[in-house]
């Protein structure tokens, strides 16, 4: 018996680009593949695809008869025309729909429509999120997910096995109605990133307008030619620290919400739920802004842009008569410049480590405690160092001019970070942390009191054997009672 006879046979209806890519992948995964076409004699194998020479191109009818599993690698519009003559042959066959929609629908899906056309077949939705290029050329696909849905559990399990053999990661969505979500997935355009990007853009525009007012309208502090880098860098820095604060402030709001209701089972408001679900994207946007701030700061790192960071020496040259020529020479960094740079570098390194742990390849290697330490403890440490980076620059200015503390951009941009850090510290206090952990383990406020009230009653001790019994009603206690006490 030849090797190909040991393989499980799979049929593919459709000889287009995706159908051939699918055939190639299935063949390398150990399956006996046949291609079904309405005009098999006119379909030729490309000379540069040698592997397909072992794959037969047969008629649609022969393909349906020969294979118990059929991939529908044709456009949905052609499915009914292609298969309407073979309804009886399709009975109990597994039909795998790989098509996609152009416009998402909440009412139906292609897979559900196919099941209506062929009710005796077992329809499964799968592989629509994998491109033909990835199917044919990318073999390191163990992290790529394939969403699977179907009303027949056995058929779903068979497709799950096929997915694993093709080196994809199957995700079982359950019954076929879930195929609406699966078909909607390829049509999405960064849905998790909309709120973080809109938030960051809004905050950036707000800070930029504030800086323009402070430095150009309220007081003419900079030249307009310094707007592109000097002033823009400040806006980027302030936006990054605000966005980073918002990343960790969401969990504090969730904690306040749980403390107020005394349970973890109360659903969060929609705005808070969206905020919590986009924390990863907010953090990555913040990291991108911090990186831009670092690059812009390196471009302007000179005594001309940052004179308070450098030592300066005044040199006077006496004139022949009654005037002198004086110029200032600035050399190396002073303590303020070095301390600001050091704290900023530490904050950037810690934040980089936090971002690295969000990569799926790294996340899969971490246990829950390690991941929580990186995302929570190290994340708040990065926020604290960022605030310290701002304060090192601000405190010397505040000491010289105490009247401008509340007006300075250093004070204004550090308000939200300080609020985030203070809330985190408060919730870490043992008296509050124990209560929060109690709620998150399932405890409900007021439940113990109700249980205690329900358990109140009387204890009766039998005179003969001393056995105590409990009762809610005194009249139900037998006569041979030695003692009663209310509990």
DSSP secondary structure string for all residues of 63-132: HHHH-SEEEE-S-GGGHHHHHGGGTTTTTT-EEEE----SS--SS--HHHHHHHH-TTSEEEE-STTS-H
**Phi, psi values for residue 248, rounded to 5°:** -100, -15
pLDDT band per the 50, 70, 90 thresholds, residue 481: very low
CA distance 83 to 87: 7
CA distance 116 to 83: 13
**Is the confidence at residue 478, as pLDDT, over 80?**
no
Worst-scoring range by mean pLDDT, 164-173, 324-333, 450-459?
450-459
Q: Which domains does the chain have, with CATH numbers?
A: 3-187 (3.40.50.720), 197-300+384-440 (no CATH), 456-486 (no CATH)
**Is the confidence at residue 203, as pLDDT, over 90?**
yes
Vertex 433: Cα angle to 431 and 436 (nearest 5): 115
CA distance 388 to 394: 10
The per-residue pLDDT for 287 is 96
**Those residues with Cβ within 8 angstroms of residue 487's Cβ, 6 or more apart along the chain or in another chain:** 455, 456, 457, 458, 459, 470
DSSP 29: T
Residue 120 near residue 203, CB atoms below 8 Å: no
Residue 417 near residue 455, CB atoms below 8 Å: no
pTM equals 0.73
CA distances from 336 to 24, 66, 267, 306, 391 (A): 63, 79, 48, 11, 11
The per-residue pLDDT for 70 is 94
User: What mean pLDDT comes out for the span 195-215?
Assistant: 93
Q: Give the end-to-end CA distance of the chain in Å, rounded to a whole number.
A: 82
Question: Tens of pLDDT along 39-50?
Answer: 877 756 554 455
**Is the confidence at residue 482, as pLDDT, over 50?**
no
The per-residue pLDDT for 476 is 52
**Is the confidence at residue 138, as pLDDT, over 80?**
no
pLDDT band per the 50, 70, 90 thresholds, residue 474: very low
pLDDT band per the 50, 70, 90 thresholds, residue 230: confident
User: Which two tokens mark 203?
Assistant: 């905050």
Question: Tens of pLDDT along 107-121?
Answer: 889 999 999 999 999
The per-residue pLDDT for 134 is 87
Give the pairing type, strands 145-150 and 122-125. Answer: antiparallel
The per-residue pLDDT for 313 is 64
**Is the confidence at residue 172, as pLDDT, over 50?**
yes
Q: How many CB atoms lie within 10 A of CB 311?
A: 13
Residue 250 near residue 272, CB atoms below 8 Å: yes
For the chain, the average pLDDT equals: 84
pLDDT band per the 50, 70, 90 thresholds, residue 465: low
């Amino acid at each position: 018996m030849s090797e190909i006879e040991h393989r499980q046979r799979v049929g593919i209806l459709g000889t287009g680009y995706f159908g051939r890519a699918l055939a190639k992948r299935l063949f390398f995964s150990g399956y006996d593949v046949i291609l079904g076409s309405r005009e098999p004699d006119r379909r030729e194998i490309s000379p540069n695809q040698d592997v397909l020479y072992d794959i037969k191109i047969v008629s649609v009818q022969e393909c349906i008869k020969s294979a118990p599993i059929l991939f529908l690698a044709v456009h949905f519009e052609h499915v009914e025309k292609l298969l309407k003559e073979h309804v009886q042959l399709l009975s109990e066959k597994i039909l795998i729909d790989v098509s996609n929609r152009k416009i998402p629908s909440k009412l139906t899906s292609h897979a559900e429509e196919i099941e209506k056309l062929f009710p005796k077949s077992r329809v499964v939705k799968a592989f629509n999120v994998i491109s033909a290029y990835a199917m044919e050329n990318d073999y390191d696909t163990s992290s790529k997910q394939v969403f699977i849905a179907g009303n027949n559990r056995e058929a779903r399990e068979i497709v799950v096995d096929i997915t694993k053999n093709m080196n994809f990661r199957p995700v079982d969505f359950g019954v076929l109605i879930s195929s609406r979500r699966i078909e909607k997935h390829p049509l999405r355009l960064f849905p998790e990133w909309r709120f973080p990007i809109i938030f960051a853009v809004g905050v950036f525009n707000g800070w930029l307008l504030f800086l323009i007012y402070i430095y150009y309208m309220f007081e003419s502090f900079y030249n307009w030619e310094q707007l592109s880098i000097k002033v823009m860098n400040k806006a980027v820095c302030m936006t990054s620290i605000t966005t980073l604060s918002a990343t960790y402030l969401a969990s504090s709001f969730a904690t306040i919400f749980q403390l107020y209701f005394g349970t973890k089972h109360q659903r969060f408001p929609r705005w808070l739920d969206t905020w919590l679900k986009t924390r990863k994207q907010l953090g990555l946007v913040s990291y991108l802004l911090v990186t831009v701030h670092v690059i812009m700061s390196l471009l302007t790192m000179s005594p001309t842009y940052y004179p308070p960071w450098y030592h300066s020496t005044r040199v006077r040259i006496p004139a022949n008569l009654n005037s002198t020529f004086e110029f200032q020479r600035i050399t190396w960094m002073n303590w303020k410049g070095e301390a600001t740079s050091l704290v900023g570098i530490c904050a950037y390194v810690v934040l980089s480590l936090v971002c690295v742990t969000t990569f799926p390849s790294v996340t899969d290697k971490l246990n829950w405690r390690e991941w929580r330490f990186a995302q929570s403890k190290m994340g708040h440490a990065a926020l604290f160092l960022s605030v310290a980076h701002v304060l090192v620059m601000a405190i010397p200015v505040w000491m010289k001019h105490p009247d401008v503390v509340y007006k300075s951009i250093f004070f204004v941009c550090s308000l939200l970070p300080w609020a985030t850090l203070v809330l985190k510290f408060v919730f870490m206090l043992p008296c509050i942390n124990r209560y929060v952990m109690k709620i998150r383990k399932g405890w409900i406020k007021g439940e113990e009191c109700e249980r205690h009230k329900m358990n109140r009653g009387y204890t009766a001790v039998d005179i003969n054997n001393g056995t105590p019994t409990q009762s809610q009603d005194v009249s139900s206690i037998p006569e041979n009672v030695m003692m009663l006490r209310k509990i």
